[in-house]
A and B are shown apart, each in its own frame.
Chain A
């Protein structure tokens, strides 16, 4: 079975601070990895994804994530957050041989203070 763990449930930062949200997964095979963002009152949107190749992937709005296979991690980073980054962030894993089931982490609430 696959699972996803997001270590930080609620992160509070001031504008311009750097961000790193942790994501670890459990799956005994090849995976596709995703970060989604849900702004207040809105639906989930894709931030970035990793399928293969360069383990450092860049997404929208200055976000990036690094896949470290040996650590089963896919942490999300942004060098300088803005107030508008306040949202819920979800990490998701999709095991290649897992019949199409994506498992989402429990989410991390990011609050950026102006």
Chain B
């Protein structure tokens, strides 16, 4: 009965590969987010979707492409992975875009 789940939890891959991270929430929320947390714990928003529509797209390389097949899912696809993409990626959801956010467990991506 996990509220926000992400898969995989760990992802180790080589430079140049393409990978995806999946996120699902069972809270009935209409807004979902992707955040990147670097090694210094800084948390930066990448994308936000509301009812499957993109509403926030921060300055993120276009190698990153989110996809929201429905309100409960927000996946993140990353093309041509680079060393600098190594980080922990958190998915989150909220009821509306001004309420508190519920975070997933994170996906630790390591690019070698």
Contact = CB atoms under 8 A, between A and B. Distances in A.
Given A42-B105, A106-B42, A100 B50 contact: yes
Contacts of B50: 100
Contacts of A36: 103
Contacts of A103: 45
A101 B105 CA distance: 21
A81 to B, nearest CB: 19
Given A32-B98, A43-B106, A99-B97, A107 B56 contact: no
B101 interface: yes
Q: Interface size for chain A: under 10, 10 to 19, 20 to 34, or 35 or more residues?
A: 20 to 34
Interface string A89-112: 010001010011111101101000
A99 B57 CA distance: 11
Q: Which DSSP category, helix, strand, loop or mixed, fits chain A's interface?
A: strand
Interface stretch (A11-19, A20-28, A44-52, A62-70): A44-52
A23 to B, nearest CB: 14
Contacts of B55: 99-100
Contacts of B102: 46
Interface of B: 31, 40-45, 48, 50, 55-56, 90, 92, 96-106
27 contacts: A32-B98, A32-B99, A34-B100, A38-B41, A42-B105, A43-B90, A43-B105, A43-B106, A44-B43, A44-B101, A46-B100, A46-B101, A88-B41, A90-B43, A96-B98, A99-B56, A100-B48, A100-B55, A101-B48, A101-B56, A101-B97, A102-B45, A103-B45, A106-B41, A106-B42, A107-B41, A107-B43
Interface of A: 32, 34, 36, 38, 42-46, 49, 88, 90, 94, 96, 99-104, 106-107, 109
